[in-house]
Amino acid sequence: MAGQRAENAVGLMTSMTSVFPGLHPETYRPHALHSGERAWPETNCYVDLWIEVLNSSGAAPEAMLGFTLAQDFEGDQFTFFKVPLEDLEALYGIRATELAIYDRVERHVEVQIARGRLCLIEMDSFYMPDTRGTAYRQEHGKTTVAINRLDVVAKRVEYFHNAGYFHLEGEDFDGLFQLHLTESDPPFLPYTEFARLPEKPADEAHLRATARRLAGFHFSRRPRENPIRAFARVFPQQVETVAERPFGFFHKYAFNTLRQVGANFELAADYLTWLSSTEFAAAAEDARRISDAAKSVQFQLARAVARRKFEPLQAALDPAADAWDAMMTSLAERL
């Protein structure tokens, strides 16, 4: 894979180099973990882009999902789950670390792409057309993308984001890379990681053995208290406060609570099924029960905000909390 990439790291590239030269936004097909038939077709920007990057590299993204077993409730949100960088290296041989940004962002990106390295950058969704209807040209917000192809001269970039592979150009390119700023305007230097990809994908035997080991590690880091019951205790009061805020705040709250826990455990079910559809069948089913319950409660949440009736919300989470207990008991017998 890496052998197909250009290795010239000197200066800026005028041609449109890429890490994965065979990808095109018009023909790209997302991984099955992003199927529209799923309860949560998208999870969060960081995990979603790694699913698609791994898929594009020929590796199974399911193997990285052990971290889903350790999700907790953090008092005001569920853990914004992310694949640990050390897991990426252990499983796939991908070495990711922070990239210092001391020059223009696009110059750093060009150099790294020319070396066959993928840059993951926090960017402003205000300039990203794939967020049309939510953030594009409506509000500024940070989101992580992985840039595969960049042409500064033509002002065009192709990137992984959420559940797909997209492109933008022209004025959006100027905004994304802050080309509209003057010499006196201080630029925003985003947090950036870059990933060195291996020459070839890890073989399945290695992936399964390593993923099984990581399952035990992440299970040992699980919350000692049922996180869904902890959430249920404060859920009605939180929603009562949310109801007093502008309606747009509702979506942010739902994303960081019900969507994060629901999407996390839908991925946990896929992970356990990938590890062993027989050994972990019961635990995977419990994980799907959590995911489905979170989806259902999200609709109840919208009704509660509209009607200003919040008390029933605490009991609404009981099926998910019971499923978490059952899932952890089942896994404790096997991990």
pLDDT per residue over 25-48, tens digit each?
999 999 999 999 999 999 999 999
Please report the pLDDT score of residue 11 as a whole number: 38
Task: List all residues 6 or more positions away from 252 whose beta carbon is below 8 Å from its beta carbon.
Answer: none
Q: Is the pLDDT of residue 12 over 50?
A: no
Rounded to an integer, the average pLDDT of 261-270 is 98
CB 320 within 8 A of CB 231: no
Q: What is the pLDDT of residue 182?
A: 81
Minimal CA–CA distance to 327: which of 257, 230, 222, 211? 222
2 pLDDT tier (thresholds 50, 70, 90): very low
pLDDT digits (tens, 9 = 90+) for 279-289: 999 999 999 99
Q: Return the closest-CA partner of residue 75 out of 259, 249, 231, 282.
A: 231
User: pLDDT-derived band of residue 269, with 50, 70 and 90 as boundaries?
Assistant: very high
Confidence of residue 13 (pLDDT cuts 50, 70, 90): very low
d(CA 296, CA 153) in angstroms, rounded, equals: 48
Averaged pLDDT of the chain: 93
What's the pLDDT score for residue 243? Answer: 92
Residue 57 parent element (H or E) = helix 45-57
2-196 CATH: 3.90.70
pLDDT reported for residue 4: 44
Q: Per-domain residue ranges for the chain?
A: 2-196, 223-332
Is the pLDDT at 16 greater than 80? The verdict is no
- The pLDDT of residue 6 is above 70: no
Gyration radius from the chain CA atoms = 21
% of the chain at pLDDT higher than 70: 95
User: What is the value of pTM for the model shown?
Assistant: 0.91
Q: In percent, how much of the chain has pLDDT > 90?
A: 85
Rounded-to-integer distance, Cα 246 and Cα 242, Å = 8
pLDDT tens by residue, 298-326:
999 988 888 888 888 879 999 999 999 99
Residue 50 has a pLDDT of 98
Residue 310: its pLDDT value, please?
84
Q: Which two tokens stand for residue 212?
A: 């099984």
